[in-house]
């Protein structure tokens, strides 16, 4: 953390790191206009998931493309969209703390496309990158999606 007045950096405490590891309470895009969705999310590392073998070899190219922000060659792999969604599912399983992604699926809830993209963006870039979601939702519904509630 930096002290803006003195431009002095201080070491992040272990307590702060531990708190960060527990995730943040974040408002995701709603399921419907009157159905907000707030959950505790953490930001797992796509590279760490791949290294730990949590991303199957068949999805590594898709994960790599997503990490680098490159579009996959659809002519070479017609299943690229399906593979990208599989990677996002793996990220969701690692990102959702409360409720867990398994609890969401067991309840029969399917996340919307917008929510899936939101979770991917949040895991890779954090809350600041969600400003476009906030602006888009604000124009449509005057709603602060992506806001950290905690």
Please write the tens of the pLDDT for every residue from 1-48.
Answer: 545 566 789 998 998 888 888 889 999 999 888 889 999 999 887 778
**Predicted local distance difference test score (pLDDT) of residue 81:** 76
In a domain, 149, yes or no: no
- Rounded to the nearest integer, the mean pLDDT of the chain is 77
In a domain, 97, yes or no: yes
pTM of the model: 0.69
In a domain, 148, yes or no: no
pLDDT band at 116 (very low <50, low <70, confident <90, very high): very high
- In terms of DSSP H, where are the helices of 8-143? 14-21, 46-51, 60-68, 80-95, 101-106, 113-125, 131-141
Compute the distance between CA of residue 17 and CA of residue 36 in angstroms, rounded to an integer.
29
Cβ-contact 89, 105 below 8 angstroms = no
In a domain, 60, yes or no: yes
Comparing 16 with 149, the larger pLDDT belongs to 16
In a domain, 15, yes or no: no
In a domain, 42, yes or no: yes
In a domain, 65, yes or no: yes
Comparing 9 with 87, the larger pLDDT belongs to 9
In a domain, 14, yes or no: no
* Confidence check: pLDDT of 143 > 50: no
**Predicted local distance difference test score (pLDDT) of residue 85:** 86
Cβ-contact 38, 149 below 8 angstroms = yes
How many domains does the chain divide into?
A: 1
Instruction: Give residue 46's domain range.
Output: 23-141
């Amino acid at each position: 953390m930096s002290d803006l007045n003195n431009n002095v950096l201080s070491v992040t405490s272990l307590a702060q790191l531990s708190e960060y590891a527990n995730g943040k309470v974040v408002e995701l895009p709603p399921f419907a206009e009157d159905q907000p969705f707030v959950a505790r999310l953490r930001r797992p590392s796509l590279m760490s998931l791949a290294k730990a073998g949590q991303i199957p070899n068949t999805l590594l190219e898709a994960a790599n493309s997503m990490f680098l922000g490159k579009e996959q060659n659809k002519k070479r792999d017609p299943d690229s969209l399906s593979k990208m969604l599989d990677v996002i599912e793996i990220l969701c399983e690692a990102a959702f703390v409360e409720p867990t992604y398994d609890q969401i699926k067991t309840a029969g809830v399917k996340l919307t496309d917008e929510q899936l993209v939101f979770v991917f963006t949040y895991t890779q870039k954090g809350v600041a990158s969600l400003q476009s979601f906030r602006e888009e939702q604000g124009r449509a519904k005057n709603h602060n999606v992506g806001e950290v509630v905690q």
